[in-house]
Amino acid sequence: MPTPRRRPLALPIVVCSTLWALHVTALADPRADTHAGLLKTVRGEVLLQDAQGASMPARVGDAVNAQQRIVTGAQSGASVVLRDGTTLVIGPQSSFDLQTFRYDSRTHDGSVIGKLARGTLRMVTGLIGKAAPEAVRIDTPTTTIGIRGTDFIVSADETL
């Protein structure tokens, strides 16, 4: 009686592995590490301005990047959650520049540097501030605040 012929398994395994790898790659968000964070809440008139000064109305879910300014009108506000878990709450009639945001999700190394030109800001630091408080800094027109805690509120008056 003839022995049944075995089919090599190598080809189907290679094909399945390749298809799986392509599928997983397609699901990855290509922007995952390109933005600093996302707008979580927007109330009233809130604008995002790029480094060239172009403005667009802010919407919940919009990406926030380093070198962007968030400007709020009267009775308006916004909150941003950065990739390291830092939360920024920007109050009414405020102007906040996210000057620098660097974050390595594997090591938690990075820095957050912002400038509050006017208005109010509440900040709850995330992994960067917990790992290296000296890597978090907020500038105002009259002072620089080095963060050594995890939750603070700062106000800047542009008339000074």
DSSP 79-117: EEEETTS-EEEE-TT-EEEEEEEEE-TTT--EEEEEEEE
Return the CATH number at 109: 2.60.120
Domain holding 46, by residue range, is 37-156
> What total number of domains does the chain contain?
1
pLDDT tens by residue, 103-152: 999 998 999 999 999 999 999 999 999 999 999 999 998 876 665 556 66
23-45 pLDDT, tens digit each:
444 444 444 457 999 999 999 99
User: Is 88 a member of any domain?
Assistant: yes
Is the pTM here over 0.75, yes or no?
Answer: no
| DSSP run (H or E) holding 142 | none
Domain annotation covers residue 8: no
pLDDT, averaged across the chain: 82
